[in-house]
Every structure is written in C-alpha cells, then in structure tokens.
Structure 1
C-alpha cells in the first residue's frame, strides 16, 4: 500500500473516531457497565431479600429435571438427564425490569420530552419560512398572468 493510501486510511479512521456519535457510544458503554453494578446491588440487596421473604433468597437454586433422573456429581455438574435452571431466569427478571425502568424514566423519557420541546420551538420558524416560500412561488405565476394581460393593451408581446 502506498504512503498516500496509508494516510487516507488513517485520516478516514481518525474522522470516524472523532465523530460525536462514536464518542457518545463509548461513554454510554462505560456508564452502562458501571450502572450494571448499581442495578445488581439493588437486585441483590433489596429485590432478592423481598422475594426471599416468600421463598428462598437465592433464586438461582431453583431447578427442575425435565427428562429422566438428573444425576449430579460431586462438583455439582449434571451427568445425565435434562436439567433446567429456571431459577436463574426468575432471578434475572427483576434485574432486567429495574434496568429497563431506570433507563426509561431517567434517560429515554427526559430526552424525548426535551426533543419535543425543542422541535416545538423550532416549528414556528420553519412554518413561517415555508409560508414565505409558498407565497413567492404563487406570486411568480400571478405576475406572469398580469404581464400577459397587460401586454395586449400596451401593444407589446408577451
């Protein structure tokens, strides 16, 4: 590859990385990873003990054997049968719901409201500009018609 090709490749990569949306995405990933610790703490510290008041605190321990006798060895591994760990799904569900609620109410909803207010503020300007453009487009044919009507009276051509 020539030096010019390497430079354009590096320049293209630099342009890609320096775009705002790539940097915003990187920040979102870092914040999301950190935020997952908060959500897990809430789930493990509040939700699981509440569920534990009605059953067991460790929901991941719930399981069923779907087919045949499930034989578990000393390491806790299932050696025969089909073992379903449905408790882990039940345990992950509150974590998902908490995460979804926090993301919706603290991020999606405020941003949607902000964008709606911003669009409402910008809309009258755009409507006024559109009306002005429409008036200019309507005036031009009217002028042509007027000139065509006046031309025979003055003896000129259209």
Structure 2
C-alpha cells in the first residue's frame, strides 16, 4: 500500500497539480489585493462609496451584505480573465512551437532550392 502511494505521489500530474494549487493560492491573494485596493475604490468613485463591502440591506433582523458579494464577483471575473489570457498565450505559444517542430526535411530542402533559385536569378 505504501509503495502504491509513493508511485501515485511521484507521478508528474500530481506534482504539477500541487504546484498549480500552491501558485493559485498565492495568485488569489494578489488578485484579492488588486480588487480590494485598486478596483473597488475605482468603482466606488462612480457609486459614491469607497468600500463596496459596506453595502448592506437590512430586512428585519437579517442583514444582507450584497457589497461583499459584488467584491467576490469582481474577484472571480478578474481571476477568470487572467486565466483566460494565460491559456490564450500558452495555446498560441504551443501552436507556434508545433509549427516549428512540424517542418519536415522535405520542406527544408524546398526552402533551400527556392533560396538557390533566387540567387541564380540575380
């Protein structure tokens, strides 16, 4: 049982996932700070309030903190957008790398022939 666990934990996917979770947690604190310290005050300028988390509605004895919910939605949207950009950039990089890797020897020879023909025409 211990041997199976060692094999499982040493697989690349598990280690990659662990690194992703750790970096994701650190990234979340950065995004939270960005939302709390930069974006919320900017939105607050237009709403007339600096801190959205203070927006509440009281119904009887219940208090609904919809400002905190708005903060969470903004936080999610920023994280989702940044992840989207990262995936888009990585996908573009992989496509470029695949195109470079797929150049066959025939293509290289054809490029050399074209280059030689252009030199002969001059």
Q: Distance in 1 between matches of 2:90 and 2:82?
A: 13
Q: Secondary structure of 1:83's partner?
A: strand
Instruction: Report whether the alignment pairs 1:15 with 2:7.
Output: yes
Instruction: Report whether the alignment pairs 1:65 with 2:44.
Output: no
User: Which segments of structure 1 move beyond 6 Å, counting only runs of 4 or more?
Assistant: 122-125
Q: What's the TM-score, normalizing by structure 2? A: 0.71
Q: Distance in 2 between matches of 1:11 and 1:65?
A: 57
Structure number having the greater helix percentage: 2
Give the aligned partner of residue 39 of structure 1.
31
Unaligned runs of 5+ in 2: 105-122
Pairwise CA distance, 1:115: 3.5
Pairwise CA distance, 1:43: 0.8
Whose Rg is larger? 1
C-alpha root-mean-square deviation of aligned residues, in Å? 2.1
Give the aligned partner of residue 98 of structure 1.
78
Q: Distance in 1 between matches of 2:12 and 2:89?
A: 20
Q: What's the TM-score, normalizing by structure 1? A: 0.56
Give the aligned partner of residue 92 of structure 2.
113
Pairwise CA distance, 1:88: 1.2
Give the aligned partner of residue 128 of structure 1.
none
Q: Distance in 2 between matches of 1:13 and 1:50?
A: 49
Deviations 1:23-43 (A, max 9, x none): 001001111111111111111
Unaligned runs of 5+ in 1: 1-8, 71-79, 126-158
Pairwise CA distance, 1:112: 1.9
**Count of equivalent residues:** 103
Structure number having the greater strand percentage: 1
